[in-house]
Structure 1
Amino acid sequence: MGQQNHTWTQSFVLVGFAAPGSLRPLAFLGTLCVYVLTLAGNLFIIVLVRADAGLSTPMYFFISVLSFLELGYVSTTVPALLRTWLRGRAPVPAAGCFAQLYVFHSLGMTECHLLAVMALDRYLAVCRPLRYHALMSRQVRLWLAGATWVAGFSAALVPASLTARLPFCFREVAHYFCDLAPLMRLACADTGWHARVHGAVIGVATGCNFVLIVGLYGGILRAVLKLPSAASRAKAFSTCSSHVTVVALFYASAFTVYVGPPESRSKGTDMHMALVYALLTPFLNPIIYTLRNKEVKEAVKRVTVRIRTMWKEP
């Protein structure tokens, strides 16, 4: 009987959200629109940063790296959600399921590290303005960006490989993509040890980076409060407000889902919170970083003028 049950792991079935059949087309179109806008918004930032010399600063370099990461992050999960809206329960090969689990958590932990690097960038810009460009040279920026990807994809090997080795007695994943908690609920064996290891790995990636971000912003706050005028303090705060908003969105949803044992949360909580960090946050990031941003607006004007001039030239 045990051997027969284990053959079920050749594939899993993504159950997704329970919704009447009449609402599925509407949900599919709504999700598709958000997905397309998310891709377009993040691609817009990447292209604009590369096209305009006025945005060739360390801050916008890291914002473009974040946008590139978000393209992969949202594309890892949303196509699976679209398929469940369109076809209902969707079978997924076990190898594909574990690959999705690994890539998703790799990108998630990479984002944790990248947000900490972006906080360091803001700290140096506010607290070390005279040495900022020397400390954040092109070589340093490339090294820091590369290190975040290496750290994220290395750390994710642990939870992904441990989960892939579990014996599974059930195949219906109560989620719209393959995530840790829904898969662990399907295991035949006791997953308490696995949950502790997962919590330690993800906790270090999220917790240490979060503490670093809080510490850096504590230094920023002290430096800003020492500035002589209200205008200079407001300007300094404005360069950090977008990043603080993104950090709050990302960590609030991540802590809700991944802090604590999986059995302490309902199945619905995992799926609904996943929509926040896997779809809503990547969708909002381009808006947050461009809304009321004079530098981006000026860059758009400059690029638009250049394009018009090119079209007018014979």
Structure 2
Amino acid sequence: VGNRSIVTEFTLNAFPVLLEIRIFLFVVLLLTYTLTATGNIMIISLIWTVSHLQTPMYFFLSNLSFLDILYTTVVSPKLLACLLREEKTISFAGCITQTYFYFFLGTVEFILLAIMSFDRYVAICNPLRYTLIMNSRVSLLLVLGCWGGACLSVMTPTIIVTRLPYCRKEINHFFCDIAPLLQVACIDTRPIEKINFFLSALVILSSLAFTAGSYSYIISTILRIPSVQGRQKAFSTCASHITLVSIAYGTNIFVYVRPSQKFSLDFDKVAAVLITVVVPLLNPFIYSLRNEKVKEGLREKMNRFVSLTLRKT
């Protein structure tokens, strides 16, 4: 602590590679970011303009797509800038802001996935009461509670990280994650690691348990449907969400639900690329390719566009 100086900025040292490799990574990540934004904007526009998609399930999906755009935007633009510039700095305020929004949006995602599983539970296990239980007012309140609760839950650990003394400016990561920030602090951060572990486990594992419980009831209900066609139709409404849940929880549990996060940063960087870049890209493709109603809405829009084009010509 005696060697401590006031840190006003950090240096992100995630990719100490040749310029040619950095340019290649820049092109790949820029293309991925563009596809992510385009795909999720497409999903949002479909849901808000196609009448048969204006249901609670797709209202939650539009929020998830909006969340994915924000989630990758928190990390990708700064990462792209660092790949092109030799000076890979980020201000202290910018670093803390990035940390807050990264964990805030991640928390929103897990709560939203749990809400979506509850929506599927009501739709399949209580279909006659679905419109009564999951009306527009309840759906809106659930989403507002999701965003508001996540905003407050991430506030305390962010304030703790803000008040830490820092001895070094070099962060071994491509964004301001908690683990590399704790590594450059001047004090013993094990108590803070335990707090982060507890909060991460609370958010991720509790939402996972709720989602797993919902799907255990869903699966048992589907198995009692007498016709094969009925079972396939019921399961098809959940297939996209199950795929999404598996990817999201699988990557985040390995990164954040660990008592100590300081000694596996190389693995964490690879996993963070999956979490912040790949998963937001996969979401619109999973729903557009595996959801019949979304594909139907997309075909409807494409047919309308073609007919308008032919009419003009």
TM range (shorter): over 0.9
Match of 1:47 in 2: 45
Aligned AA (1:120): F
| 1:176 lines up with 2:178 in the alignment | no
| Residue of structure 1 in register with 2:193 after alignment | 195
The 2-side partners of 1:39 and 1:189 are apart by 40
Which letter maps to 1:298?
E
Looking at structure 1, the residues matched to 35 and 87 of structure 2 have their Cα atoms a distance apart, in angstroms, of 26
- Report the residue type matching 1:84 in the other structure: C
CA shift for structure 1 position 88: 4.0
Q: CA deviation at 1:161?
A: 1.0
1:53 partner amino acid: S
**Per the alignment, in what secondary structure is the counterpart of residue 90 of structure 2?**
strand
Tell me which residue corresponds to 2:5. Answer: 6
CA contact (8 A) 2:40 2:66 kept: yes
Partners of 1:15 and 1:84 within 8 A in 2: no
Unaligned runs of 5+ in 2: none
Matched with 1:126 is 124
CA contact (8 A) 2:193 2:261 kept: no
Name the counterpart of 1:114. 112
Q: Which runs of 5 or more residues in structure 1 are unaligned?
A: none
Distance 1:83 1:262, change over 3 A: farther
CA distance in structure 1 between the partners assigned to 2:246 and 2:174 by the alignment: 24
1:124 is paired with a residue of what secondary structure? helix
Pairwise mapping of residues 46-125 of structure 1 onto structure 2 (< 5 A)?
A: 46-125=44-123
1:104-141 per-position Cα deviation (integer Å, ceiling 9, x unaligned): 10000010100000000110111011111111100011
Q: Would the aligned equivalents of 1:11 and 1:93 in 2 still touch at CA under 8 Å? A: yes
Match of 2:225, SS state, is coil
Q: Does the CA-based 8 Å contact 2:71-2:102 persist in structure 1?
A: yes
Structure 1 Cα separation of the partners of residues 20 and 300 of structure 2: 47
Aligned to 2:147: 149
Counting matched residue pairs gives: 312
Q: What does 1:226-305 align with in structure 2 at a 5 Å threshold?
A: 226-263=224-261, 265-305=263-303
1:37 and 2:23 are equivalent in the alignment: no
User: CA shift at 1:19, angstroms?
Assistant: 2.2
CA contact (8 A) 2:239 2:290 kept: no
Structure 2 length as normaliser, TM-score? Answer: 0.95
Mapped contact 1:16–1:84 kept (Cα < 8 A): no
Residue 216 of structure 1 aligns with which residue? 214
Task: Summarize deviations over 1:3-57 as a string: whole Å, max 9, x none.
Answer: x6322x2111111223222211111000000000000000000001011001111
TM norm structure 1: 0.95
Q: Percent identity?
A: 37
| CA distance, structure 2, for counterparts of residue 313 and residue 131 of structure 1 | 47
Runs of 4+ in 1 over 6 A off after TM superposition: none
SS at match of 1:146: helix
Offset, 1:263: 4.4
Counterpart of 2:211, as a letter, is I
Secondary structure of 2:5 counterpart = helix
DSSP-derived class of the 1:130 partner: helix
